[in-house]
Amino acid sequence: MSSLRAFRLEFNRSTATYMAGEIVSGNIIVDIAKEKQIRGLFFSATGKAQVHWTENDSKQRTKHYINSEKYFQLKCNIISTQGSDSWVKLPRGYNQYPFSFQMPHNIPYSFEHRNGYVRYTVNAVIDRPWKFNHECKAAFTVVSSLDLNVHREKCLGVNDETRKNFCCFTNGAINLQISISSSGYVPGQMVNTIVDYVNSTNISITRVCTKLLRKLQFHFTFKTITNDFVIKRTEQTGPFPTNGQVISELLIPPIPPSCLEYCNIIDLYYELIVCVHFSGPHRKIMKRYPVLIGTIPLCFPPSAPPLHNVISNPSISYTNESAIMPVLTPTPTSEQSNASYLPARKSVGSVVPEQPSSSSISIDIPPPLYEECMSRTQDIRD
């Protein structure tokens, strides 16, 4: 029967949550029933990212795609001996050994997903002569800040106009104008989507749906996979009047900010999707708009430039099936264009952390839960 009653890591913060560049500290707890002879006690801290997924080839053989990168790794002795053949005595009873280290500033925030993660861990080891070592491991969370005021050009409002023509047994069209005051938000803020419509047909609008979509990309050397997930949705159902306005409200839940800065193998960004459904066998209208999620809200929302042709008169004539005039940068249609919408990615190196803008303001928003932000918590054993 082992005399080791407890061997664990405890962080000095109950939440084990830290900002990049902060000092992480805690205690290594060792409780033994009798005195032990050991070669040493040390801890190591690691920050790394990894992606992994499998695919079947034409012969139904499973291929594994694995990629990783490391942000830091350090090792520090708590108890050490003079040589490999010498040892020290670990006292009987409850023992507590403090540890601390400082993280780099230029590291991505913690992230967990079934296809990849950014993970920070501390590992403690009791080095025993001629026996297996005792090990324990604990993960801690790194959070980062994204000031929307620094990226105001990515937070412009939306003023989008489109038209749907109907044929066969129905003549006429439905004209839509979609307005969103801003495309930059922080958790706890409300997205207000306004859909103004003019209907010159006997086809009715049955449902207006708004979705917040999370888009993930995991990169291998020559291959990328994408994972889309609807975080939240809201919908308004008919009957609606012939001409009118539909206002949808969607609360941004606790989610991590856009773009895993300093991570080169995982990309994260968000889209707001507006869907308008019609009666009968007619295809819906679906519009997608990039949304920047940050941690520091805008001091005041940027206004969207006016449309060249705003729907104000039902008799407006259109020549195209869909006349689209978005204010934002065109909706991404490829991985490259999606990435170009995000804040410029910085490479890992010796950098000074950015200071919050003097124009930044903060609002009272409860911090996100790690489990909510990261989709799921993985087993941290190697």
For the chain, the maximum distance between any two Cα atoms, rounded to a whole number of angstroms, is 93
> Residue 306, SS3?
coil
pLDDT band for position 243 (cuts 50, 70, 90):
confident
What are 53-110's pLDDT values in tens digits? Answer: 999 888 889 999 999 999 999 999 988 776 666 778 888 889 999 999 999 999 999 9
The terminus-to-terminus CA distance of the chain in angstroms comes to 26
d(CA 178, CA 305): 13
What was the pLDDT predicted at 172? Answer: 76
What was the pLDDT predicted at 203? Answer: 82
Asked whether the predicted pLDDT for residue 225 surpasses 70, the reply is: yes
Highest mean pLDDT among 38-47, 158-167, 334-343: 38-47
Q: What number is the average pLDDT over the span 128-136?
A: 84
Angle ∠(329,332,334) on CA atoms, nearest 5? 145
* Alpha helix positions (H), the chain: 335-341, 370-373
Q: What are the Cα distances from residue 187, in Å, to 90, 115, 345, 358, 363?
A: 48, 24, 22, 21, 10
Question: What is the Cα Rg of the chain in Å?
Answer: 27
In 3D, which of 182, 300, 178, 189 has the Cα closest to residue 250?
A: 189
Q: Which domains does the chain have, with CATH numbers?
A: 4-143 (2.60.40.640), 148-342 (2.60.40.640)
Tokens describing residue 170: 């129905």
d(CA 116, CA 112): 6
What value does the mean pLDDT of the chain take?
79
What was the pLDDT predicted at 342? Answer: 47
* Higher-scoring residue by pLDDT: 353, 374: 374
d(CA 89, CA 353): 43
What was the pLDDT predicted at 381? Answer: 62
What are 300-332's pLDDT values in tens digits? Answer: 766 554 443 333 333 322 223 322 223 333 334
What was the pLDDT predicted at 116? Answer: 94
Tokens describing residue 112: 């967990």
Tokens describing residue 303: 């206004």
DSSP designation for 359: T
